[in-house]
Structure 1
Amino acid sequence: MSTLLRARTWPKTHPLALDAVLAAAVLVCMVAASFVDPHADHGAKWGARTPDALGLTLMTLAAAALVLRRRAPRGVLAATAVLSLVELAADDPRAPVAMSAVVALYTVASTTDRPTTWRVGLLTMTVLTGTAMLAGPLPWYDQENLGIFAWSGMAAAAGDAVRSRRAFVDAIRERAERAERTREEEARRRVAEERLRIARDLHDVVAHHIALVNVQAGVAAHVMDRRPDQAKEALAHVREASRSALNELRATVGLLRQSGDPEAPTEPAPGLDRLDELADTFRHAGLPVEVARADQGTALPAAVGLAAYRVIQEALTNVRKHAGPEAKAEVSVVRVGPNIEITVLDNGTGQHAGPGGPDEDDGHATEGAGAGGGHGLLGMRERVTALGGSCTAGPRYGGGFRVHAILPVKSRTAPAGGGTTA
């Protein structure tokens, strides 16, 4: 197999050697043809004539020029054409030096464009054939003269066909390579989007529920000795929050399963229909939350509903973590034309008041700021922007913090961040 492969690649790796072999073969053919007299009687054509010194010299020079046909195709064509013209005008009987010009014309046609092939081909055919008809002792319509015209025409046509096929194959190969690169880039883009979406979901789930667990566990530890009933209630909330976190994590991780893995959970993604339940979890954690809705019972697409739910969840989680123990939160959901507007306000007085306060989790204190390494507000904006909406967050005048998101009721895109499972 390796020997066959080397044999196939040898012409490409040794083009000059291949041209030398071709030139030698053309020289043999020209010398052999010079011994044939096409006008001799049948059966006595071979050996009826012999080439003279001028003919042998011209054939040798023409064959030698073919060695350089790839490096200078037009120069080789000009040289072989001149040698052919000298032979046609001065030698009798004629030697087939024009055979080298035919090979050179084929090379030019196979390495240039079609208009050039037409111009060079017609010029070569006309000059060689015209010289043969006018200068030779034979009748102008002799088969040798017509043969020069036919062979040069076929050489130009064959070279143009080879060039066209080579260009066609190169174009197909280029399209295949471009399609392969496009598929790889698309696959990488989809993987990156999916990773980003899962990262946002994991952040939202973990930040929300772990914050609640932390608060309730602190309450239980504080009142364990003096008020065991209240400690028991706090631990019940811890258990409920942890169970919810596990369920949402299981649903999120289920997206990573392969087709042969066990079936992923089919619980629908959370949306604004679960807003009251979400608010209750924060109330149980000690954060007063007021909810006002004027969305007229609008049914939202799953991606929009999930984004709205996550924005409110993240905003309230940050209020509970950063706004101080006396903070209160207000959530409003309003239908305004083709959009749903969501606003989360708090009156926090903590050192990092509001849902944008920088800490180990969220590093964006205000719109456009990026002092830390957090992902909460960044995730909000990515979710909303991916659906064609907008999200702003920043301190309120007089204290507190405000998160405001505008989401189109009908999302204009189908982003990776708008999945249908939590």
Structure 2
Amino acid sequence: MRTHPLAADVVIALALTTVALLLGTESAAQGWPALDPLGWTLVALVNLPLALRTKAPVAVCLFCFAASTWYTTAGYWPVVSSLGPMLALYTVASLRPLRVALACAALLAANWIYAGLITDGSNMASVVAQAAGFPLVLCRFGWSARRTAELNRQLRAEQAERARREVADERVRIARELHDVVAHHMAVINVQAGLARFVFDTDAGTAREALGTIAATSGEALAELRRMLGLLRADDTPADSAAPAPGLGQLADMVARVRSGGLAVTLTVTGEPRPLPPGVQLCAYRVVQEALTNVIKHAPGARAAVELTYRPGTLTVSVVDDGPGVTLPRDTEGRGLRLTGKGVDPARIRPQGGHGLIGMRERAKLYGGTIVVGPRREGGFGVLLTLPTSSQAARRGDADRQ
């Protein structure tokens, strides 16, 4: 259980007062006048205000110094009144700037030298050495405590900011995955539901086929949602409870599903297929998925072509269609914007909203690739993704995803 700082200071002040009072009972044995009511009162005035030392450190320090000087001037044993001012000086050094602590240290040194001057038989060399050494040591320890507290506060602030950024990044990743999963499958389901409703009374076979596509698409959407929720599971959940992420091996099935939804789309693979890191495969899969979803939503009736090209060290993914396209904003020289892994404001890509193109850019950036999105000269719209397939780039992207 955490103790309140004020309560701790009260306990410390009472303990220090008790020690000083017990030490005061030895005054007569040390050859000094025994404490009378005035002496006991001054001892209390020197030590009890330390209960407020963290609330008003400088004021408490000055009050303790003044009470200690009064106690010494009254002729009592100076050692009894030395503990409270020393703790007060340490508190000032730990909570206030160094120049303030040094000023208070000078006052404490003057108090000790004054006590030595008015005491018969004092060894002034020893008194001066103590007056110079003890306050400086107290200032040094107090300054170290203040510096440590400042570093701890700074560390906590940096940790809180880092946690906030990590939460924001995780929200972006979750939103991107949700968009990729939901938008594509719902677009296919929407097209098939419209087709089934249109031919329900006239072509039962086509309607039945459309309903089958809806069932298969919704089942795949649920499987991907389970996979994504599995990634958000508690740490003690078995790792194999989540379905594997989709990759290039499922690309043909996805194209076939889109084709059954009414979009004329072809898939071509150029080069020698080879195993690729899971993150690279997921990136390519999601970009194709988003590009075909955009064709379904923005260019109904268009034809699309998907081409995968395996080259040494790179994988190129191209998705083009012959629809009317989407007009992208122009740059200052009248050219279409290029959406790459860096240097482009994603908010300018699609003024009418949506997160698909933003997600494409983020995925390309994550794996060190580039992506070009825009209308084609020969008509229609195109997406061209180039990904490095080196193990180093793949490891970097997978590490960022985790």
Fold agreement, TM-score > 0.5: yes
2:161 alignment partner, one of 176, 185, 208: 185
Q: Is the contact made by 1:356 and 1:366 (CA closer than 8 Å) also made in structure 2?
A: no
The reply on whether 1:238 has 2:214 as its aligned counterpart is: yes
State the partner residue of 2:367. Answer: 387
Identical residues among aligned pairs (%): 35
Aligned-residue offset at 1:234 = 1.4
Counterpart of 1:348, as a letter, is G
Aligned-residue offset at 1:418 = 3.9
2:269 alignment partner, one of 293, 298, 303: 293
2:113 alignment partner, one of 75, 90, 99: 99
State the partner residue of 1:279. Answer: 255
Aligned-residue offset at 1:197 = 1.0
State the partner residue of 1:108. Answer: none
Q: Which has the higher contact order (CA 8 A, sep 6+)?
A: 1
Counterpart of 1:398, as a letter, is E
The Cα offsets for residues 183-213 of structure 1, whole Å up to 9 and x where unpaired, read as 2222222221111111111111111111111
Q: Counterparts of 1:215 and 1:173 in 2: how far apart (Å)? A: 62
Q: Counterparts of 1:249 and 1:150 in 2: how far apart (Å)? A: 79
Please give the secondary structure, in 1, of the residue aligned with 2:285. Answer: helix
Counterpart of 1:371, as a letter, is P
Q: Counterparts of 2:246 and 2:327 in 1: how far apart (Å)? A: 21
Please give the secondary structure, in 2, of the residue aligned with 1:330. Answer: strand
> 1:163–1:240: structure 2 CA closer, same or farther, 3 Å change rule?
same
Aligned-residue offset at 1:182 = 2.2
Q: Which runs of 5+ in 2 are unaligned?
A: 14-49, 78-98, 330-335, 340-347
State the partner residue of 1:266. Answer: 242
Please give the secondary structure, in 2, of the residue aligned with 1:348. Answer: coil
The reply on whether 1:32 has 2:8 as its aligned counterpart is: no
State the partner residue of 1:198. Answer: 174
Q: Counterparts of 2:386 and 2:132 in 1: how far apart (Å)? A: 69
Counterpart of 1:342, as a letter, is V
Q: Counterparts of 2:400 and 2:304 in 1: how far apart (Å)? A: 26
State the partner residue of 1:331. Answer: 306
Quote the RMSD (CA, aligned, Å).
Answer: 3.7
Q: Which runs of 5+ in 1 are unaligned?
A: 35-69, 82-96, 103-127, 129-142, 358-363
Q: Is the contact made by 2:375 and 2:382 (CA closer than 8 Å) also made in structure 1?
A: yes
Q: Counterparts of 1:101 and 1:412 in 2: how far apart (Å)? A: 72
Q: Counterparts of 2:189 and 2:353 in 1: how far apart (Å)? A: 23
Q: Is the contact made by 1:209 and 1:241 (CA closer than 8 Å) also made in structure 2?
A: yes
Counterpart of 2:377, as a letter, is Y
TM-score with structure 2 length normalisation?
0.69
Which has the larger Rg? 1
The Cα offsets for residues 162-183 of structure 1, whole Å up to 9 and x where unpaired, read as 1221122122222222222222
Counterpart of 1:23, as a letter, is A
Aligned-residue offset at 1:264 = 7.6
Aligned-residue offset at 1:26 = 3.1
State the partner residue of 2:186. Answer: 210
Please give the secondary structure, in 1, of the residue aligned with 2:318. Answer: strand
Q: Is the contact made by 2:226 and 2:243 (CA closer than 8 Å) also made in structure 1?
A: no
Counterpart of 2:272, as a letter, is Q
Q: Counterparts of 1:386 and 1:181 in 2: how far apart (Å)? A: 27
